[in-house]
Amino acid sequence: MRKENKILSLKEYCDPCGAYCCSHGTTIGSPIISEDEKKRIIRHYERKHPYVAKGFQKITLTKEHYYVILEKPDKTCYFIKESNCLIQAAKPLDCLIYPIKAVYESEISHIIDISCPASKFLTHEFIETAKKLALESVKRFDRATYAHWLENFVGWVKKPTAKKLEEWLKSIE
């Protein structure tokens, strides 16, 4: 488990909303997962939950590849069961930092999904830790790979509820 898991846990807000974002695949989409991250998740769960290895789809591009989490036929995340994340202790980096994400624009900037009920309760420590890890996440892949993932697997980034983090923080002061 990452040391940041405790700082970034929003479970107390996910439970009342039924983990809506993970239970409706088109809501936020799938996190981008590197080869190392996929192996870490599988290694963490392979004895207790051998099916975990089947929950990933490999996306191959010209120079690089990445993984996304499969959706079940009902469009829920492969790892959600009764509103609970079955890989909570080893969840992907992008899941851990949601509702914050780093994106490439002219430079890397941070955005927030204000449709997430937890966004109203984010602490300064959560925001700063999530920003740092969001930069780590975006830098794992080249710009073209990351853009491919955003275009094909991340629904919330294009919604009106996606706001520039710094502007949103100023608006709620």
pLDDT the model gives residue 15: 72
What digits encode the pLDDT tens for the residues 48-100? 888 889 999 999 998 899 999 988 888 888 988 887 888 888 889 888 888 99
d(CA 77, CA 2): 21
Q: Please give the residue that has the higher pLDDT: either 1 or 85.
A: 85
**For residue 59, which of 135, 144, 139 has the smallest C-alpha distance?**
144
The total number of structural domains that make up the chain: 1
Secondary structure of residue 73 in the 3-state scheme: coil
Question: Does residue 157 register a pLDDT over 90?
Answer: no
What digits encode the pLDDT tens for the residues 113-136? 898 888 888 989 989 999 999 999
- The alpha carbon of 144 is separated from its chain's Cα centroid by a whole number of angstroms, namely 19
What digits encode the pLDDT tens for the residues 146-155? 889 888 887 7
Structure tokens at 74: 């009902």
- The alpha carbon of 110 is separated from its chain's Cα centroid by a whole number of angstroms, namely 13
- The alpha carbon of 107 is separated from its chain's Cα centroid by a whole number of angstroms, namely 20
pLDDT the model gives residue 152: 87
Containing structural domain, residue 131 = 5-171
